[in-house]
A and B are shown apart, each in its own frame.
Chain A
Amino acid sequence: MPRWGMAIDLDRCTGCQACVVACKQENNVPFSTPAEAEYGRGISWIKLMTVTEGEYPEVKVRYIPMFCQHCDHPPSVKVCPTGAMFKASPEMGSTVGHVYARCIGCRYCANACPYQIVYFNWNEPSWPEELKLSFNPDKSIRYKGVVEKCEFCDHRQQMAKDRAAAEGRDLRGEGDYVPACVQSCPTQAMVFGDLDDPSTRVYKLAKSPRAYRMQEDLGTEPKVYYLKQGE
């Protein structure tokens, strides 16, 4: 029974945003117009937070990829009135998921989430004509009036599970599937795997003295670990 988690080595992150693009393509995330983006209504399941430190000429920029932290005690699930936002069972990886067909668009989850990574579809999703050829058929398209967020590419897990079952084994803690962002990371800053399996890389990284989680004091127990940048 895997407990999927991720470790991100911020020393390795160059801020190239390959993960942001990969996620957008993999999950059929809609584009927004500049006017919509001005309202803060653009949707991007991963966004790159930048923190600028120091003053010219001694300036340093830190990059932090920010997406659903897949908490073990997710506040968004507690407030969902319909059960659309749910925490998956241990056999499906204990991630935080969302069933769009059940969502009524109340946005309680978006407000309850301390990481601000739940996005609401304010408009009917639209894509430039050319990009409609690149739709991923393995992921459903969301519609106006529901929220959406990172799901650790669960559709990949479904297929990986079926492949593993056909071979007569359980899903391995590492190597059977990775989300699109991890696959696309050119510096391999992102590591994905089972946090309960001591043989995985993510287990070791999560135990590293450099590891920290976002807003740990809230008690949400996120499953995304960040490895502190060295000076």
Chain B
Amino acid sequence: MTRTAKIFAGLVLFVVLVLTGIMFAAYGRANAPEQPIKFSHKVHAGDFGIACEYCHSYARRSTVAGVPSVARCMGCHKVTALDKPEVKKLADYWNRKEPIPWVKVFDQPDFVYFSHQPHIAKGIACQSCHGAVEQMEKVREAVVVNMARCVNCHMEKKASIDCWTCHK
């Protein structure tokens, strides 16, 4: 490799790194946080086709979708996939009677009032705000849920766009 080519390659690498840095800064929330257990939505919701609401069972009746209890996980994992290392971690939490400290991925600011219940009742697909979670090994905020997204959808669906509907 000539000296010029080296400099050029270095320059390209530098530009790519800077651009990635800017992208990550701008879409910082799109990062997938490290979870205590490598739970794969792709396996559960994608390959096995388990409905979102089987585990996130509060979505249809509450403001929050709810993170399933360890007991809900153990409902299946008492009998299935016992040999997998990640399932063993789950069993450890179960035996220690400890909740799993999952890291929240989708979070709204404190001044936002959002309730899952009316949205589920109207038949809005989970994926329309959460992205294709069933294809993700590790959940990330693939869709940025900001005010523009909320208001656009509310306008399309002729739902209320009064400030009071969502701000508290």
* Residues in chain A within 8 A of chain B (CB atoms): 86, 88-89, 91-93, 95, 97, 99-101, 138-141, 154-155, 157-159, 162, 165-166
Contacts and interface: CB of A to CB of B under 8 A. Distances in A.
A196 B156 CA distance: 30
A166 B117 contact: yes
Interface residues of B, number: 15
A166 B121 CA distance: 8
Given A99-B167, A166-B117, A141 B110 contact: yes
Contacts, number: 53
Interface of B: 109-111, 113, 115, 117-118, 121, 160, 162-165, 167-168
B59 to A, nearest CB: 13
A140 B111 contact: yes
A101 B117 contact: no
19 contacts: A89-B164, A92-B162, A92-B164, A92-B165, A99-B111, A99-B167, A101-B109, A101-B111, A138-B113, A138-B168, A140-B109, A140-B110, A154-B164, A155-B113, A157-B164, A158-B115, A165-B121, A166-B118, A166-B121
A141 B109 CA distance: 11
B168 A155 contact: yes
Contacts of B168: 138-140, 154-155, 158
